[in-house]
Structure 1
Amino acid sequence: MNSLTYELNQSPYDAIKKGIMKSDWTREKEILKLLIVLLPISLYLLQVVLSVTGHETDTLTTGETTLGWFLEILFAYLATFIFSIEILFSSRIALKGRLFGETIRTQTYKSLYTVGAPISILSIILFIANYSESLTVITYFFAYFIMTSIIFILFLKFFEPISIFIFVKLINWWRNRKEKVRITNNRNVIYVLTYSVFAVVAYLILFWVSYFGYISAFPNGDAIIESANFNQNQSLLYAFGFDMINLYNFLTLTVLPLTISIIPIVYGLKKLYSKSLGYLTFFSIILPISILLPMFGAFGLVTFGADFYWITGQTSYTSVFGFNFFTLRSAGLDATLIENNILGYLSIPYIYTRYIFNIIIWSLITSYIGKSFKTKNVPKDENSLSKMIFSNVDELMHFDDYIAGEVPYLITQSDDFKAEDLITERDEIKELMSLLEKEKLLSELTPSDENEKKRFYFTLKYLYSKGFVEIFRPEFSYDTEIVEKQGLYIIYDDGRGLFDYSFSKEFDQDPGLISGMFSAITSFIKETTRSQDLLKTIDHGDIRILIEYGDRIFGAFFIKGKQSTEIRGQLKEFVSRFENKYAEILKNWNGELIHFKEDFKLVGQVFKEE
């Protein structure tokens, strides 16, 4: 775990906004293509499972089906598998500087395409041969699978950033689980406890209000639900009533509990340093009550159990003056799930965790709205540093936490601060704000004298209350070896050098020689190994050469020390920005280097020190 590194330098909320605004859907298309390849296999697997469990005779015309549960469980496992691979890829998680998430994704998708395509064709043939009479099942399965796949990839950009954040938090917690840091404001767990109790009371009141509201609004609700069965024709009034019941149930049994659950967590975590302690406290109150409430005829804040029926579309008609007018209505299918068969066992993790994960994910998204992240490299010794990722706090740290000095807070000028604000301030404030033109760790600013240390806290409190400074606390960190940058070379795909930059005066190599060397090495490897994989790293003593590829160019970065996700990420960004900047020139490059002479500015932007 100590050798793991990752790339996360913005808040989940900012990452969500950036992902949604980005118009590149290449990755989503790849995932959709993969899911379509797996569709015939899933279809054949459906009939096999239904046959083994003794439900092969269930059809949609009976008004009950196991199909819905199979689809739900299958896609939950399939989506979890694909989503996990995407998280490993997008988080740029690396072991000793090597991005294994990217390798896992490439190899897995390649294997699934290679093996899945012929198996899918075979599955279609076997299905037609054995289950040709199940045309209705095929139609519903195909439509649901495609619909769910599209929804999955559309929401990928929304849920992936917060999932990466949770993943990195778990890595950081496991890595530092043995470290004992005394955080005074963990005493503020009483806030989470109090808010949780208020949430339960509020929910019980609103639940019984909504229950009696349901009885008043739908006095014949049971009859409406029964008439909505898939194999029955329903009156127009009852069809409208069924839609209203579903909407009412969604608001009162899904939206209301989720909202009431999120509020105490969001406000409680503002008072608490440890998020894990906050969630542990909250669920220790909520879960037992949610288990007990169904015994008294009520639903809990967290629902445990299977759905009663599935909602689908069904053609319906009404007769007017002897003519039948057809339309589409919402219909219900009894959700058959026999708990002692394979579907029952496979559904257990899904049924009992979906609402818990809903609460965790939505509360974290809400908590990090408006949060800003900062990254800082903190030297540990002459050979290593700690890369720390901070988020801004909602309130000033407790005095006892400040005195203990165990949390490395980061202090910086706020974005709203202006120099004119200091005109009437005393010299001490002006001097301190001058120091904060560049962000500083709290330990760098804190006086050593005990009396001055106490005085400085109240000065900091004053600056924070005035909005002059922002305070950031560490979210996670990892240690990495200090890397000494040597030289950067951008090379055309035919081996000609485009641009070079030396970070060290001692490193002065002939660009033409370097370009020729890479051209020879890559040609040699392709010819001798017959491999289509691209060369990514070359190790030679204490020098490492990192290589990243674009469409028409590739970049070679010479460093001393171990590679890291940060260094490789910078190289990849530079290659991408360089290629985008000169896209038209690179299409038919004639060898002129004058176009690229000013790109040392781009080097400064990309390879900047945190």
Structure 2
Amino acid sequence: MQAITLSSMGIVFVPILIVSLVAVIIGFLKKNLSNSIYRILIALWSFWIFYYLIPAMILQNAGLTAQLSMVANSSFSAWMKLYTLSFANFLYSVALFLAFPIVMYPFVYIISPFISVVILIFYIGRKNITQVSLWADFKVKPSQFLAKEEKEMLKMFLALLPFSIYLLTTIIQIMQIPEDPLTLGRTTLGWFLEIYLMYLLAFIISFHLLASVRVYFQNKFIGERIRDTAFRTILIVSIILSTLSLYSYIIQNPETLYLLLFFSSYYIMTAIIFIMLFRFFEPASAYILVKIISLIKDFRAHKDFFKTLPIAIVLGVVLGVAVLGYYYLIVIPISIQITPSRLLTDILLFSNPRVDDIIYADLILGLSNFWLYFDYGIVVIGALFFIRKYKTKPLHILIPVYIFRELVSLYFPPGKHYWITSVFSLALLGDEYVLFPRFALLEIDFGFLEQNYLVKSVVESFLLVFDAVGLFGSIIILSIIGYLHMKDVVQVTAKGEARLKRILGWMHRPNGGALQLRENTYVIPIIKSKEEIELTEEEQKLYDFVKSEIPKVSEVKEKSLLPPEEIPNLLKNLWTKHVFSFLEEDVYFEIPLTRLVGLYVVMKDGRGVYSKSFGKVEVGSELVSGMLSAITSFVKETTRSSDYLRLIDHGDIVLLIEYGTYVFVALLAERETPEIRMRLKGFLKEFEQRYGDKLIDWTGDLREFTDCDEIVKNYFERPVI
């Protein structure tokens, strides 16, 4: 077995280190992009390590000997050829890596909303689906919420690893599948890794989406409850049962250990990349779920969706012709000249390719992937142009585009399928052996499916769905991501007396072209105070009304107490003065506000420290602190539980409790929500940071906490849902 020398390390790591250095510099110079850049960089490193390096190490340890691909003198040109190989490998790595966000993950995010709807109907019944409300955030979801969601997802992925490996071993046993690439030169389960993991991710995301869009039913946010229950059940079953069964299988079949390691490395890589890119894709999937539920609740309200359908079909035809022309004029002529199919046999796992052939193959295969992404780019850019031009949505232009995609595929019928892995090769430069990884291809063998018609039907169904949704799903997801990031697509939240409403839509800004006022257009104030600009008396009245209501144009005419015939001109005048903007609704949410009753801070020994009432009825802090101490002690004594009591649910009122180092805080509220719990934790943390020194030896003087109202104001003055 050849060792990895310092020269080998240089060959392997130089390209990605250079790219990482450039990314870090850009992130340092562009602070607003740094988080996104670092996430993509972590995802790329994960792919490079788990897909490019580790498989080669596993196969080498399993007995695959590195073959000699180059013999030359230790000259500058010879070393440059190896570094050229390294950069060609890295180019191909990037091309393969991009398949995850461009091709594979969009499949996850396009089918998971439909699974979410099925799950929701299962929990609440088909007839009740029209009674649910939603509260999604497409623009400014707090980073602490995102971090918590990512943490929960990562826990799920890691917990499901033993279950996934157990499922793999079960398939091998039941189907008697031969899986030994070292002997056979092909793989049977390469397809299983990708397809299975994509469906698994879709299943997990479908539960997460119900919590993400805050599904609200019968005065409760049931989305969080459904997700938490499902995740908790999966964790218990996967960790306990699957781990024991997997251990037993490895003891009986030690020769398959390397295969399980290979699967595990691919699984971990997929999970890390998925988590790193989760923030970019999740809003698009949530948007689709919102649209599906809105369509189910009121189909007639979406009739405007079809007004631009003729233009969409024409655009789809144009884009389809553009894709066909791109293939006929560019791809086919180049393909004929370079004949990439000939190269596949040169880089198979058990051949002995020269370094020149490896470089050539990496460049050709990498560029062919980039050609595919360019194909996607043509359609996505066309979709975004259509969205911006006609202030519409990206969904319905894709049917004709998909038809043309199928026409293109008729000219390129599928051939053999290959699974891409990596192996080690050797170069002898003078007296020095240089070990380096390279990509290699394993032919995927579907022959075992012919033995069982039922299994064949199931597998082909999953593969058919994956292939059919491919381009279609990618363009939808990527177009929605582009749509949600457009400057003129904004999200506005407004507070009423007892409800909170949120609108996502197109903003008609001043100097943004001609203004066409529609009755269902929302009027949005864009200045903080009317003193910022000189207004007439009528304009001031209109400004005061709009600021408090965020109304539609029709509501302004009905409720503003101004002459209806003057309102259009007043609105346009205030628009040109940069006082108002107008919002064309795409998505509308309305949710009842949560009523807060009282906040109580209590020492661990039961003494009341601070209390704040949010309503007309005040509850004595001594009564609450005594009750909490008694209940907590009772629960711990009777159940012998080491955990603390965190919630008391009394139907129409709940008591939320959080514990710190010196005190615990209790909040009486109408219901528990993740947002209220997060604010309560934040309040407790800041309270102990400010008063920690006083709490250590507190004498009972309540005057020491009189300025605590500032902390309460920061956390609980804003509307709570």
TM-score, normalised to structure 1's length?
0.80
Structure 1: how far apart are the matches of 2:218 and 2:203? 25
Q: CA deviation at 1:290?
A: 1.9
Q: Please state if 1:227 is matched with 2:346.
A: yes
- Residue 360 (structure 1) aligns with: 476
SS in 2 for 1:162: helix
Letter in 2 for 1:577: F
Structure 1: how far apart are the matches of 2:592 and 2:147? 35
Q: Please state if 1:259 is matched with 2:387.
A: no
SS in 2 for 1:372: strand
RMSD of aligned C-alpha atoms? 4.0
Deviations 1:493-542 (A, max 9, x none): 5544333222233x1221111111122234434555667684534327xx
Residue of 498, 501, 519 corresponding to 1:388: 501
Q: How does 1:540-551 map to 2 (within 5 A)?
A: 544-551=653-660
Q: Any gaps of 5 or more consecutive residues in structure 1?
A: 299-304, 380-384
**2:504/2:587 contact within 8 Å kept:** no
Q: Please state if 1:597 is matched with 2:713.
A: no
- Residue 312 (structure 1) aligns with: 421
- Residue 21 (structure 2) aligns with: none
Residue of 496, 504, 512 corresponding to 2:615: 504
Residue of 294, 307, 310 corresponding to 2:409: 294
Q: CA deviation at 1:602?
A: 4.0
SS in 1 for 2:707: coil
Structure 1: how far apart are the matches of 2:266 and 2:717? 47
Provide closer, same or farther for how the CA distance between residues 148 and 283 of structure 1 changes in structure 2, counting only shifts above 3 A.
Answer: same
Structure 2: how far apart are the matches of 1:374 and 1:134? 56
- Residue 582 (structure 1) aligns with: 688
Provide closer, same or farther for how the CA distance between residues 141 and 92 of structure 1 changes in structure 2, counting only shifts above 3 A.
Answer: same
SS in 1 for 2:318: helix
**1:189/1:272 contact within 8 Å kept:** no
Q: CA deviation at 1:259?
A: 1.8
Q: Please state if 1:486 is matched with 2:597.
A: yes
Deviations 1:431-481 (A, max 9, x none): 6456555563134433689x9656533553454456442223444445555
Letter in 2 for 1:153: I
Q: CA deviation at 1:65?
A: 0.9
Q: CA deviation at 1:109?
A: 4.0
- Residue 437 (structure 2) aligns with: 328
Structure 1: how far apart are the matches of 2:630 and 2:543? 55
Q: How does 1:438-449 map to 2 (within 5 A)?
A: 438=548, 440-442=550-552, 443-446=554-557
Provide closer, same or farther for how the CA distance between residues 320 and 351 of structure 1 changes in structure 2, counting only shifts above 3 A.
Answer: same
TM-score, normalised to structure 2's length?
0.69
Residue of 297, 317, 323 corresponding to 1:197: 317
Deviates more, 1:331-340 or 1:394-403: 394-403
- Residue 347 (structure 1) aligns with: 463
Q: Please state if 1:242 is matched with 2:370.
A: no
Structure 2: how far apart are the matches of 1:257 and 1:266? 15
* Between structures 1 and 2, the one with greater helix share: 2
Residue of 609, 623, 647 corresponding to 1:536: 647
Q: How does 1:403-422 map to 2 (within 5 A)?
A: 405=519, 407=520, 409-413=522-526, 422=533
Structure 2: how far apart are the matches of 1:192 and 1:414? 37
- Residue 187 (structure 1) aligns with: 307
Letter in 2 for 1:353: V
Provide closer, same or farther for how the CA distance between residues 335 and 501 of structure 1 changes in structure 2, counting only shifts above 3 A.
Answer: same
Provide closer, same or farther for how the CA distance between residues 306 and 518 of structure 1 changes in structure 2, counting only shifts above 3 A.
Answer: farther
Q: CA deviation at 1:366?
A: 0.8
**1:378/1:386 contact within 8 Å kept:** yes
Q: Please state if 1:50 is matched with 2:50.
A: no
- Residue 210 (structure 1) aligns with: 330
SS in 1 for 2:255: coil
Q: CA deviation at 1:391?
A: 2.5
Structure 2: how far apart are the matches of 1:577 and 1:374? 26
**2:491/2:503 contact within 8 Å kept:** yes
Structure 1: how far apart are the matches of 2:588 and 2:632? 36
Q: CA deviation at 1:318?
A: 3.6
Q: Please state if 1:524 is matched with 2:634.
A: yes
Letter in 1 for 2:138: S
Identity %: 24
Q: Please state if 1:563 is matched with 2:665.
A: no
Structure 1: how far apart are the matches of 2:328 and 2:406? 17
**2:658/2:680 contact within 8 Å kept:** no
Letter in 2 for 1:545: V
Letter in 1 for 2:169: Q
Provide closer, same or farther for how the CA distance between residues 229 and 533 of structure 1 changes in structure 2, counting only shifts above 3 A.
Answer: farther
Provide closer, same or farther for how the CA distance between residues 133 and 165 of structure 1 changes in structure 2, counting only shifts above 3 A.
Answer: same
- Residue 302 (structure 1) aligns with: none
Letter in 1 for 2:408: L
Provide closer, same or farther for how the CA distance between residues 491 and 155 of structure 1 changes in structure 2, counting only shifts above 3 A.
Answer: farther
Structure 2: how far apart are the matches of 1:287 and 1:549? 52
Q: CA deviation at 1:328?
A: 0.9
Provide closer, same or farther for how the CA distance between residues 25 and 409 of structure 1 changes in structure 2, counting only shifts above 3 A.
Answer: closer
Provide closer, same or farther for how the CA distance between residues 545 and 124 of structure 1 changes in structure 2, counting only shifts above 3 A.
Answer: closer
Structure 2: how far apart are the matches of 1:603 and 1:586? 17
Q: Any gaps of 5 or more consecutive residues in structure 2?
A: 1-128
Letter in 1 for 2:624: I
